[in-house]
Structure 1
Amino acid sequence: MEIKTNAKIRIRLESFNHELLVSSCRKISETLDITSLNSLGMVTLPTSKRIYCVLRSPHVDKDSREHFEIRIHKRILEINYDPELPIIDLLTKIDLAPGVFYRICLS
């Protein structure tokens, strides 16, 4: 009796543009639909915001300020698969859009 263990891969995606992030997740899931996966799940993480306050004129008006913010959108793709499949080779060959940062974690 053979017991097959399932391997797990987590891909963490980050981007300033949420549309690029969604299209990258869709591209990864379409690429992995070819193989026989046990499960593929997407987890949406909270969006982090950085807010910067800048004086409009540093020498005169202290009351005149501008606020800028940067939003970082994050997703995690969790993939359960059989270790015999070449999933890692497929993931490294995927060409994602520029502006999407991703990390592949094996467990």
Structure 2
Amino acid sequence: MKKTTVKKTDVAKLRIRVRAYEHKILDASVRQIMDTAARFDATVQGPVPLPTEIRKYTVNRGAFVHKNAREQFEMRAHKRLVDIVNPSGKLVEALTNLSLPSGVNIEVKML
């Protein structure tokens, strides 16, 4: 059997990871990013929901004797992933000038 090799063309990708504690704010922010990319006719892959990061903290309710009386708190971090294929310079500039609500963390990587 003959193996065929296919060369991949170098495609620039802008990978955006969005993270927030409230999923409604997160979805609104991702929608803003998608609308901005659609205005510049960019090819968008996503949004891909990533696993929710759950941190649980257990504390004692009582001070001394009441070991079995405990209370649990948790923090949930929701995450989404958006890929933009072959972003133009104007699109990158528009994304940097985008004002998103507080509580939304964004990581941008160029692949």
RMSD, aligned α-carbons: 1.6
Q: Separation in 1 of the partners of 2:56 and 2:14?
A: 33
TM score, norm. by length of structure 2: 0.84
1:62 aligned residue: 67
Residue 51 of structure 2 is matched in structure 1 by: 46
Paired with 2:51 and 2:77, the residues of 1 have a C-alpha distance of 9
**1:10, 1:48 → 2: CA distance?**
20
Contact residue 36 and residue 81 of structure 1 kept, 8 A: no
For residues 6 and 87 of structure 1, the distance between their equivalents in structure 2, rounded to whole angstroms, comes to 16
Work out whether residues 55 and 66 of structure 1, in 8 Å CA contact, stay in contact via their aligned partners in 2: yes
Matches within 5 A, 1:1-107: 6-82=11-87, 84-107=88-111
Task: Percent identity, please.
Answer: 35
TM-score (ref. length: structure 1): 0.87
Greater Rg, structure 1 or structure 2?
2
Number of aligned positions between the proteins = 103
